[in-house]
Amino acid sequence: MIPRAAQSPDRSHLELGANALHRFAPDPHVKFKALRVRVRPRLRPFFSFGYGLDAGTRFSRTWGGLHEGTSGGPDRPDPRRSLYEARAWIGFWGELEPAPDQADFLIGFGVGLVGDGVLDSSERAVLDAAVPADRDRLLEGIGAGLLVALEAGEQVGGLAETLAGGPESDWEAIGRGMARASPSTGLPARVDLGLGERTPQRSRLEIGLEARRDIGLGRMVRLPVVPTPEPPGG
């Protein structure tokens, strides 16, 4: 037998979490909940981040598909589809004891939302479904994900349009996520997210960019993960 290449527990637990969503179960989070109690506390942040990362990556395609209607159009959602409501993707934490890894899940979800470098209008639905504290964590994840995209030379877009009309504090949370996930070399000389030079949103972004770097988060958002295959039929 050829020995498997060594893989860090951090990465393996992140990938384990990224394969825990059970889309078609009455409780789509049942697998995650069952596995989470067996994960050592030190590794739970990676496990929960991975779960959020995968769920956020799937959200726009899956949620949008559900709202196209699977049994009679958008006004008649298929009752078997337990993820029809945007809140269902993140609200299950209310069934669990409060724990620090909830923040890791939400940040991972935000990173997943902008895995393609874009925040679209359907993805705003999950932000609007979140309570303010959870919304901030999701936006920190969005900021961290956008930073990684910018580092890779990717174009980012849609942010200013999608968040238009939202609270100005959204931009501070995005900046905070970018700063927390920044590499040891620091942030880019200029972070351009389509905001004007002298706008309240730009000012709040700059405040967020002053946050302290979080080495653990910076490492987590840069761990390579094998994407979960889509099941037949999307």
Amino acid at 69: G
Confidence grade of residue 68 (pLDDT, cut at 50, 70, 90)? low
Token output for 232: 């037949």
Output b/e per residue, 191-215; b: 16+ Cβ within 10 A. bebebeeeeebbebbeebbebeebe
> What's the pLDDT score for residue 98?
84
User: What does pLDDT average to over the chain?
Assistant: 83
More confident residue, 209 or 4: 209
Residue-level length of the chain: 234
Q: At residue 79, does pLDDT exceed 50?
A: no
- Residue 168 confidence class, pLDDT cut points 50, 70, 90: very high
Percent pLDDT > 70 in the chain is 84
pLDDT higher for 117 or 226?
Answer: 117
Burial label for 224, CB within 10 Å (0-12, 13-18, 19+), is exposed
**pLDDT band, residue 11 (cuts 50/70/90):** confident
CA angle 12, 18, 24 (to 5 degrees): 140
Specify the pLDDT at position 28: 84
